[in-house]
C-alpha cells in the first residue's frame, strides 16, 4: 500500500487540484544534474490572493495528518490559521512531518507571481502532472541568491542553456533570436550572435559583449579585444 506520508504523495495530491511547478534541487535534478537534495521546493499556482491560495491548499494539506506547517528560517510551528498572513508577508512556508521537508512557494525567489502562467506554459511537463521550469527560468531563481550551494547548479544550468543557445541561435529568425537574447546570454552566446545573418542581431551581440566587458567579465573582454569591438 502506498505510503501517504511522503513528499511525492503530497505533490501528486496538490498537482491533481492545482498547477505545481517544481523548483530548487528537485528541478535541477530533473534537468539532469546528479546531486542530492535535503528538501523539495514547489511553486503552487499563486491564484489571485494569498487568502484564495490558502483556502485551496488547506483541505489538501490538512488531509495529510502528519503534515505540519513551519516558518522558513526560524522553523517555528505555525497554525494553519496563521498561514495566510505568513504567505502574504514571506510567500513561502515549509511542510514538515513527511519523509523530507517540502517548501511550498506562492512567491519564489526572482520569479514574480505574475509570471506563473508563462513559467508554467514554457515549463516541461512530467508524467505526474507537475512541470519543471525551463532551464533559464530555473537559472533566474538561482540568480543573486548569494548561496554557495547554488554555485554547482548555476554552472550546470548555464552550461545547459548555453549549449541550447549555441545550437539554436545561428538558425533562429531575427525575432526569435532577439527574444532568446532578451532572456539569456553569455560571452560565447553573444559572440555567436555576431555571426547571425540579421544585422540587428549582430548589433545586439556586440552591445551585450561590450556591456559584459564593461561589467568586468574577462571572457567578454577577451572577445572584445580580439575582435576589436567598440561601442562607437
Partner 1 sequence: MKQYRPNPERQKRLYSMMKSRALLRRWQGKPPGNSAAAAGRKQIPDNSEPWIPGGVRSFADAIWISDQIDKDIARWKIPTPPIS
Rg (CA), the chain: 21
Near partner 1 in 122-141, by CB under 8 A: 126-128, 130, 132, 136, 139-140
Nearest to 133 by CA among 120, 145, 143, 146: 120
Q: Is 168 in the site for partner 1 (CB under 8 A)?
A: no
List the one residue from 4, 5, 8, 166 that touches partner 1 (CB under 8 A): 8
Q: Which is nearer to partner 1, 28 or 92 (CB)?
A: 28
Q: Which helix (H) or strand (E) holds 83?
A: helix 83-90
Q: Is 100 in the site for partner 1 (CB under 8 A)?
A: yes
Nearest to 20 by CA among 8, 38, 3: 8
List the one residue from 55, 151, 152, 200 that touches partner 1 (CB under 8 A): 151
CA dist 87 → 52, 102, 140 (Å): 11, 15, 21
List the one residue from 73, 76, 216, 232 that touches partner 1 (CB under 8 A): 216
Relative to beta strand 102-105, strand 92-96 is antiparallel
Residues that bind partner 1 (CB under 8 A): 7-8, 11-12, 22, 25-27, 29-30, 32, 34-37, 40, 100, 110-111, 115, 118, 126-128, 130, 132, 136, 139-140, 143-144, 151, 154, 158, 161, 182-187, 208, 212, 215-220
Amino acid at each position: 500500500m502506498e505510503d501517504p506520508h511522503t513528499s511525492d504523495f503530497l505533490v501528486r495530491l496538490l498537482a491533481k487540484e492545482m498547477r505545481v511547478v517544481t523548483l530548487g534541487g528537485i528541478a535541477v535534478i530533473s534537468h539532469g544534474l546528479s546531486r542530492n537534495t535535503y528538501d523539495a521546493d514547489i511553486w503552487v499556482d499563486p491564484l489571485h490572493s494569498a487568502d484564495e491560495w490558502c483556502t485551496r491548499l488547506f483541505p489538501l494539506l490538512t488531509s495529510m495528518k502528519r503534515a505540519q506547517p513551519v516558518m522558513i528560517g526560524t522553523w517555528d510551528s505555525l497554525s494553519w490559521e496563521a498561514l495566510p498572513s505568513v504567505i502574504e508577508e514571506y510567500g513561502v512556508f515549509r511542510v514538515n512531518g513527511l519523509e523530507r521537508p517540502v517548501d511550498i512557494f506562492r512567491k519564489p525567489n526572482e520569479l514574480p507571481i505574475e509570471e506563473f502562467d508563462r513559467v508554467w506554459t514554457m515549463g516541461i511537463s512530467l508524467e505526474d502532472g507537475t512541470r519543471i521550469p525551463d532551464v533559464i527560468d530555473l537559472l533566474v531563481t538561482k540568480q543573486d541568491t548569494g548561496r554557495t550551494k547554488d554555485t554547482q547548479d548555476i554552472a550546470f544550468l548555464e552550461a545547459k542553456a548555453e549549449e541550447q543557445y549555441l545550437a539554436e541561435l545561428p538558425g533562429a529568425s531575427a525575432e526569435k533570436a532577439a527574444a532568446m537574447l532578451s532572456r539569456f546570454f553569455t560571452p560565447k552566446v553573444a559572440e555567436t550572435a555576431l555571426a547571425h545573418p540579421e544585422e540587428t542581431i549582430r548589433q545586439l551581440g556586440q552591445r551585450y559583449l561590450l556591456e559584459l566587458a564593461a561589467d568586468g567579465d574577462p571572457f567578454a573582454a577577451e572577445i572584445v579585444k580580439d575582435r576589436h569591438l567598440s561601442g562607437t
